[in-house]
Structure 1
């Protein structure tokens, strides 16, 4: 199905920009730049190599490399073969990686030199390709057969899979179509008025769906995407120097980075060319974003919200002056997206009363890869009627709507949280902890105010067990962003009348 730009696929989106801006810089990192023409030609070459390794279509192909300017090129090449790119965190524990590879059964894993022993370390059979070898080879560009594959892509074909946390300890692969991304990007281009003169600063890891906006909004606009070394975001001054020196006009960051810079008291010392400051992934502090508004009054600001399952974002709230209320709304629906709030009784609540947010529209993902059961639980028939199949996504987020039609996020209906921009199931952390020798019971809490994960645990007392060893054991099973900041050893776990862990009591006693 075509749209108002006559686009069916993401490679097609890129090719149209390449034809308009062949010599313009497309991607830039600390080691150099790629023009739109260069990205196109090398994506075609890499796509030819991929077809020799994987002759099938609609297969998951894993990308396991450092974050740099090569990765969007690799993504493009994979999609050109009518396959599905799967960016994974290079630093994730091997146990988690094995679970993901087992779920995916990838046709190919593209990795760098550091992961050359990956196949020996896993129990999964797959073909592999070292991206370093591609750069060394002289490859003749055979364009026609790849373009034929691009022309075969339809908008409901999967484009990418991004893995999110699973409550059972098994990550879930959210599968997103070309059409959903195009619809989202066309909306974002119109709302944020992006031009080919704009420059984006990539902050989100490529295995986090905020990166989808960075990459494809830059591509469709003929803009430049800067991909700095991720370490700069730890240091406010280095981050601000980068924004200034690279003449960045648009940022889409998680609030924790924005808060960290606001706390540095350096904002007033910089004159930046920022046109848009966009944020999503966590609740934004009004106090801290107002410091940005004061420092950069000419910029526009936008709070975006959305689970990975609905193609990055489904609501937005724009503002351009100091915000006076205590909580920022998540706003109103994005284009082609309808939101319904359902209370505990299955009814639409009154204005100001809470309920769970349900989402329907073209934004919905294709479900969870190789997990029909989890898909059926999250993607359900619209509770408003049963006259025809009408699928909605149960977000698990409790929200309310005010009299002006603005939606506000309140909390989670389950144990899922947003932390450091990542969506995390606390149950996955618990599952990891319970697999550690000597841990007999545990509960994971989240302190929203302190922004920290807390692990409460009970041990069997058979041998000495210290926090250092526990942290080391957890680090072997969980990515860094999921590691608890605080460990609390309990003599016994409090239980409620049903014999379940009394989490409310733990929260009352341990979180101020």
Structure 2
């Protein structure tokens, strides 16, 4: 049983040292080469005398980035992967909180790092390193790491504008990976096509899930996602058989005729998460690859990515809600009402208790205490559960259904309305590619941003057939391209900021 995350790699090296683990555009590495590279990067971290300290990783999505993560883990410290496309101002806010004791980067980004980090401990991964690797030193470091020690701090957006650092221990990740790979039946024959950025929690499957099962991951070049046809051919040429992508990336293919470019029947599993998957685009994938298994994964950074999943096993209409399913092994769900009381009927907020739960927010005990709370159905001993901030309900099959975010819930015309419910209905309209609803609090109206071939008059008519009056958008903004953030999700904040500009 793995104790810390690097145990997965050590076991893989013993079993399949020469198997290719990760492939990118310019190179690939075997499991043995991956560990050697991690050891090489770990040595200067260790010789700096750091232990249980934060180390920032400022690298593009690459094999070097994976090696750096593992290197920090081997050294007994914890890492934060920083998005290289992030504005310097946001990086400075993260560094102000994190106070990294070292930064791992490459020659390409070295000058940029020096603009926001004035520390002396900068490790450049692609420069020759004269320091010898000492397996004895690394083994000594490993022996001192507890499974409860922190593996990484992953920064997510905060409602106050200050990024929140989610503190995640080794134990949470190893427990989650074991449950995840078992539920998704990942094995040594799995070939993963990576779309997710490495600073986004969903990437733990592509990285650590791959290593745990001695599988193989292709780091798909970002340029491929600009051209759906080239992307489909890439999946075909490399015989990729598992995708774990955000729905926006899957919809990009589904909204074109890219399926005709190449045969994708070798794809066995398609997992989507991070946002709601529209039924219409799901059906397009099912039609193109009918023998694949489709899985709706649901979770958050605070519980190490996933807590529930649903294997699609029945037909859905385009305006149906796709369930988020049942908990992973060693996870449990509790639904509470506005008074914090558990309920089994109606809509309530989802709480999770799990062995993959994180510790809270880095240097922010106040915010931590607001959402990491005492189990509302246990008053006998301390037991922390995480309040997801998501509204859910149980369907007739006993499966959870996602209704929407609490912060996407609005009160309009005297009624509580979930913007996610409006979006789900609109996504089923023929001619709609993507859509996003935001609330204009000044004008007291729901605004719909959308892309697609449908004209506004037809769209209004269809919406009137699907939604009651108080849920109907009153302002329609057709876009050429829907904006997405670095995680691939629709950029709601940007759309909200454009409300006044679109008048």
Q: TM-score, normalised by structure 1?
A: 0.80
Query: Structure 1 residues 71 and 43, CA, compared in 2 at 3 Å: closer, same or farther?
Result: same
Shift of residue 485, structure 1, vs aligned partner: 3.9
Query: Structure 1 residues 454 and 319, CA, compared in 2 at 3 Å: closer, same or farther?
Result: closer
Paired with 1:480 and 1:303, the residues of 2 have a C-alpha distance of 18
Paired residue for 2:399, among 402, 406, 428? 406
Shift of residue 194, structure 1, vs aligned partner: 1.7
SS in 1 for 2:252: helix
1:100 equivalent in structure 2? 94
- Mean alpha-carbon deviation: is it higher for 24-33 or for 313-322? 313-322
Shift of residue 356, structure 1, vs aligned partner: 0.3
Show CA shifts across 1:405-460 (max 9, x none). Answer: 1001111112599xxxxxxxxxxxxxxxxxxxxxxxxxxx99945544869799xx
SS in 1 for 2:499: strand
Paired with 2:171 and 2:146, the residues of 1 have a C-alpha distance of 8
1:431 equivalent in structure 2? none
Say whether the 8 Å CA contact 1:453–1:485 is kept in structure 2: no
2:51 equivalent in structure 1? 57
Say whether the 8 Å CA contact 1:457–1:488 is kept in structure 2: no
2:248 equivalent in structure 1? 256
SS in 2 for 1:383: coil
* 1:30 corresponds to 2:25: yes
Say whether the 8 Å CA contact 2:55–2:100 is kept in structure 1: yes
Paired residue for 2:337, among 337, 343, 348? 343
Query: Structure 1 residues 415 and 104, CA, compared in 2 at 3 Å: closer, same or farther?
Result: farther
Paired with 2:117 and 2:224, the residues of 1 have a C-alpha distance of 36
Paired with 1:32 and 1:265, the residues of 2 have a C-alpha distance of 31
1:387 equivalent in structure 2? 380
- Mean alpha-carbon deviation: is it higher for 124-133 or for 274-283? 124-133
Paired with 1:42 and 1:480, the residues of 2 have a C-alpha distance of 36
Show CA shifts across 1:235-283 (max 9, x none). Answer: 2111101100111011100000111101112225532211110110010
Shift of residue 346, structure 1, vs aligned partner: 2.7
Structure 2 gap ranges (5+): 411-418, 427-433, 443-484
Paired residue for 2:163, among 171, 174, 177? 171
Paired with 1:154 and 1:289, the residues of 2 have a C-alpha distance of 42
* 1:305 corresponds to 2:298: yes
Correspondence list, 1:296-335, <5 A: 296-319=289-312, 322-324=315-317, 326-335=320-329
1:190 equivalent in structure 2? 182
Shift of residue 372, structure 1, vs aligned partner: 1.2
Paired with 1:215 and 1:159, the residues of 2 have a C-alpha distance of 14
Say whether the 8 Å CA contact 1:349–1:355 is kept in structure 2: yes
Paired residue for 1:132, among 118, 126, 133? 126
Say whether the 8 Å CA contact 1:26–1:225 is kept in structure 2: yes
Say whether the 8 Å CA contact 1:454–1:484 is kept in structure 2: no
Say whether the 8 Å CA contact 2:342–2:377 is kept in structure 1: no
- Mean alpha-carbon deviation: is it higher for 326-335 or for 108-117? 108-117
Shift of residue 321, structure 1, vs aligned partner: 6.0
Paired with 2:285 and 2:408, the residues of 1 have a C-alpha distance of 32
Paired with 2:20 and 2:58, the residues of 1 have a C-alpha distance of 25
Show CA shifts across 1:369-409 (max 9, x none). Answer: 11111111110111223221110111110000123210011
Shift of residue 234, structure 1, vs aligned partner: 2.3
2:13 equivalent in structure 1? 18
2:203 equivalent in structure 1? 211
Say whether the 8 Å CA contact 1:102–1:124 is kept in structure 2: no
Show CA shifts across 1:217-241 (max 9, x none). Answer: 1101111111121121122111101
* 1:371 corresponds to 2:382: no
Query: Structure 1 residues 456 and 347, CA, compared in 2 at 3 Å: closer, same or farther?
Result: closer
* 1:266 corresponds to 2:278: no
Paired with 1:405 and 1:321, the residues of 2 have a C-alpha distance of 15
Say whether the 8 Å CA contact 1:119–1:125 is kept in structure 2: no
Paired with 1:347 and 1:169, the residues of 2 have a C-alpha distance of 31
Paired with 1:456 and 1:106, the residues of 2 have a C-alpha distance of 40
Say whether the 8 Å CA contact 2:233–2:261 is kept in structure 1: no
SS in 2 for 1:314: strand
Structure possessing the higher relative contact order (Cα contacts under 8 Å, 6 or more residues apart): 1
- Mean alpha-carbon deviation: is it higher for 197-206 or for 108-117? 108-117
- Mean alpha-carbon deviation: is it higher for 285-294 or for 262-271? 262-271
Query: Structure 1 residues 452 and 128, CA, compared in 2 at 3 Å: closer, same or farther?
Result: farther
Say whether the 8 Å CA contact 1:299–1:320 is kept in structure 2: no
Paired residue for 2:152, among 147, 151, 160? 160
Paired with 1:209 and 1:199, the residues of 2 have a C-alpha distance of 20
Paired with 2:174 and 2:256, the residues of 1 have a C-alpha distance of 37
Shift of residue 32, structure 1, vs aligned partner: 1.3
Paired with 1:384 and 1:44, the residues of 2 have a C-alpha distance of 46
Shift of residue 483, structure 1, vs aligned partner: 5.8
Paired residue for 1:150, among 113, 137, 142? 142
Paired with 1:452 and 1:97, the residues of 2 have a C-alpha distance of 28
Shift of residue 121, structure 1, vs aligned partner: 2.6
Structure 1 gap ranges (5+): 1-5, 418-444, 459-474, 492-509
Shift of residue 143, structure 1, vs aligned partner: 0.7
